[in-house]
Amino acid sequence: MIVILLIGLITGEIHNVCEVCTCDNLDKPIIVHCDSKQLSNLNDIIFNSTIETLSFINNSLTLKSSRFDLRI
C-alpha cells in the first residue's frame, strides 16, 4: 500500500489529503497530520473544506507568493 501511494505521488496523480496523510476525525472538523511525509509541494493534493487543523512537521515545503517565499 505504501509503495502504491509513493508511486502515485511521484507520477503526479491527484489524491485526497486523507489518502496521503493521516486524518484523525473523518467527521467535521477534520484534523490532518502530514508529518514526516517527505512532501515537497501540495500541488497534487485535494484539501477538504472541513479541515480544521493541518500539521506539516518535517517536510520540505516551499510556499511561494508574489510577496514572499516561505519554507516550512
pLDDT of residue 14: 76
Alpha helices in 1-72 (DSSP H): 2-11, 17-20
Res 8: pLDDT? 45
Query: ∠ CA 39-34-65 to the nearest 5 degrees?
Result: 55
Average pLDDT, consecutive stretches of 10 residues, N- to C-terminus, the chain (72 residues): 42 79 82 91 86 90 68 59
Q: How confident is the model at residue 9, as a pLDDT?
A: 44
pLDDT at 70: 57
* Integer Rg of the chain from CA: 13
Instruction: Please report the pLDDT score of residue 4 as a whole number.
Output: 40
pLDDT at 57: 92
Per the CB < 8 A criterion, the answer to whether 62 and 69 are in contact is yes
